Chains A and B, each alone.
Chain A
Amino acid sequence: MKITRKEFLELSGLSVLAAGALHAVHAVKAEETSHPAGAQADPPKKQMALAIDLRKCRQRLGCNLCSAACNAAHNVPQFSDPRHQVKWIWSEPFAEVFPLDQNGYTRRNYTGSPLPILCNHCDHPPCVEVCPTGATWKRAEDGVVMMDWHRCIGCKYCITACPYDARSFNFSDPRTALQQVNPDFPTRTLGVVEKCDFCAERLAKGEPPACVEACPEKAIVFGDVHDASSEISKALEESYSLRRKPELGTGPNVFYFL
């Protein structure tokens, strides 16, 4: 059989198309079976969560020991330009954290005073959903939303999808914005996204997150909300708590006591 150049080109064009389609099919199949990010289908056995008692937190307005401890532990770069800041745990005024819980008559405590915010390690994290590479995923064993800074392609889709502003992009080289480097924790590179990981490195050693430990008022409780006997479950049972934007269906796992 003789193949003309034209036929050859036509055939190779079709083969490329077929190969592309095959790859897509494999990708979908792989996702269905084994990909770690697919673990969202089953709720994690444990779900780590954090509850912040604002009654205690307000005892020391302006204290930022939790952020400072976190920044030092994780080599969080300190950029001076507020538009490029990288934040893992930081403070915002109550009224802006809970805009829908304002009625115009609330005491200043519940409007102006700053409170700590961080990644909510959601039950259904939109960031995990949108990440095209699985560089962020919900850890099956304890529900922590993790990040792989070596896999992140810097598309910033997760930042767009997060309703909590909890993700930061490195607009400049983060290593130039570190006064001291903690050698036990990796630094990041230009062009990747980062966020709070509930101190996965400390959890592995059985220690609580750095912010929990750093709080002088013991205002932050950390633990497994799926375990009814945990300290956090008991605290949540005792007092009424708020979560940020629960109406979006993301299932945030950071709770606030008023």
Chain B
Amino acid sequence: MSLIEKTLAGGRRYWLWLGFLAVLMVMALLGWVQEQQVGLGITDLSRNMPWGLYIGQFIFCVGVGDAALVVMLPYYLHHWRAYAKVALLGQILGTVGVILAMLFIFVSMGKPVRLINVLLYPHPRSLIFWDMLTLSGYVILTAIIIFRLLIAEQEHSAPPLWTQRLVLLSFPWAVGIHTVTAFLLCGLVARPYWFTALLAPRFLASALTAGSAMLVLILLLLKRLELFDAEEDALRRLATTAAYCLVVHVFFTLVEFFNVFYGGVPQEVEHVDYLYGGLTATSPVAPWMWLSAVLALVALLVLLVPALRQRTPLLLAACTSAVISIWIEKGFGMLVGGFEPSPFGATPPYVPDFSEWKVAAGIWALGAFLVTLMYKIVFSVRKEAES
């Protein structure tokens, strides 16, 4: 396959980077094997926190999946020329994000060898069934799209009509994966922190924010590495998208807070209180949640003021803040808030163990690995097509 061969031609920097990621991936694999052999008891997961870092990262990664939407939709539906070269990069990031999301579910399972049971004994009333179908469907759908768009670039032609139709199909699908992921949580009467109809819209708002901010960061990095020169116009538009989405994200979060605190139902207040340190003085998650809040406001300020967001260092800082803020809130706080405080008195707080961080880092490394290879192919194809 000529496309795959393109990943084999690279300089020293390229191979060092891939090697570094491979080391992380191997460490994660070993860590995961140990978790499976000894049991998830060697992590910090417990009776009270059956889901932790992995499922939090799963939620965040599904959000990364929506990075595709912020560039593909304006380009294919509204013909924003500025995204002509960026749309495919966004789609690749999104697809890889969803692959990571599925892996995070996989490592969280106690009996992953039995995964096939979900298909052998399907139970459509379970949202996991739908999550599995929509996530794997999205990966297959967008993989076909990416492959066909690459061919089109190679041949200097417009993608065929069926590919464009698949692209259109991928837009509601991208909304769907995050909606189903929110439904996974917000239908549970047992968990007041998640039991809110606003959860799916909140997930989408934060996903679109993190997705567009991440794309800005990647484009700035590629520019710095002189691998891809994103147009100023594309960056400017992405920053505007991130600004709007962040406004909605912050708005949704505050709307939720109003409901919880003005209503004051104890079962609802205690979870938010726990997250922000109002319930116990020893909540280790509180500093992180406050950091997340401050970072969101900093990002909001910079992104909202055009004079600020047009300056590259500030844009870089704002997008980094937005991604970290949402990573803390969705990738960690969402789960802790769902389970803590425990219904049966004080339990030691959940602090992800080194093993969990190792596995999570390895999965992220795999993501970086896949994105690197795919971008390498894209840039090589474009270089050949130009010459």
Contact = CB atoms under 8 A, between A and B. Distances in A.
Contact of B39 (A20, A31, A129, A173): A173
Interface in A28-83: 28, 30-31, 35, 37, 81-83
Interface in B120-178: 120-129, 132-133, 136-137, 140-141, 143-144, 147-148, 151, 162
Nearest to B191: A160
Nearest to A40: B125
Interface of A: 6, 9-10, 13-14, 16-17, 20-21, 23-24, 27-28, 30-31, 35, 37, 81-85, 92-93, 96, 99, 126, 129-135, 151-157, 159-163, 165, 168-173, 189-193, 248-250
A27 B124 contact: yes
Interface stretch (B42-50, B61-69, B245-253, B315-323): B42-50
B75 interface: no
A144 to B, nearest CB: 18
Given A81-B41, A85-B47, A169-B40, A31 B111 contact: no
Interface stretch (B197-205, B275-283, B340-348, B374-382): B340-348
B41 to A, nearest CB: 3
Interface of B: 36, 38-41, 45-48, 50-51, 105, 108-112, 114-115, 117-129, 132-133, 136-137, 140-141, 143-144, 147-148, 151, 162, 184, 188-191, 338-339, 343-345, 347-348
A84 to B, nearest CB: 5
B110 A190 contact: yes
Nearest to B126: A132
22 contacts: A9-B147, A13-B144, A17-B141, A27-B129, A31-B123, A82-B47, A92-B344, A96-B344, A130-B125, A131-B126, A132-B122, A132-B128, A132-B132, A133-B114, A152-B110, A152-B111, A154-B112, A156-B51, A169-B50, A170-B39, A171-B39, A248-B189
A249 to B, nearest CB: 7
A134 B124 CA distance: 10
Given A130-B188, A171-B45, A165 B343 contact: yes
Given A13-B147, A96-B345, A160-B188, 18 more contacts: A10-B148, A31-B122, A35-B123, A37-B123, A83-B47, A85-B47, A99-B343, A129-B125, A129-B126, A133-B123, A151-B121, A153-B115, A155-B109, A157-B126, A168-B47, A169-B110, A170-B110, A191-B109
B68 to A, nearest CB: 17
A109 to B, nearest CB: 19
Contacts of A85: 47
A155 B108 contact: yes
A192 B124 contact: no
A117 B112 CA distance: 31
A188 B129 CA distance: 25
B117 A20 contact: no
A190 B111 CA distance: 8
A161 B188 contact: yes
Contacts of B143: 13
A84 B121 contact: no
Contact of B123 (A132, A160, A190): A132
A129 B199 CA distance: 20
A152 B115 CA distance: 9
B9 to A, nearest CB: 22
A23 B133 CA distance: 10
B46 A163 contact: no
Given A152-B111, A156-B108, A160-B50, A133 B117 contact: yes
Contacts of A191: 36, 39-40, 109-111
Among A96, A134, A151, A192, chain B packs the most CB atoms within 10 A around the CB of A134
Contacts of B46: 83-84, 171
Given A31-B125, A96-B343, A171-B41, A160 B111 contact: no
A94 B74 CA distance: 58
Given A156-B51, A162-B190, A132 B343 contact: no
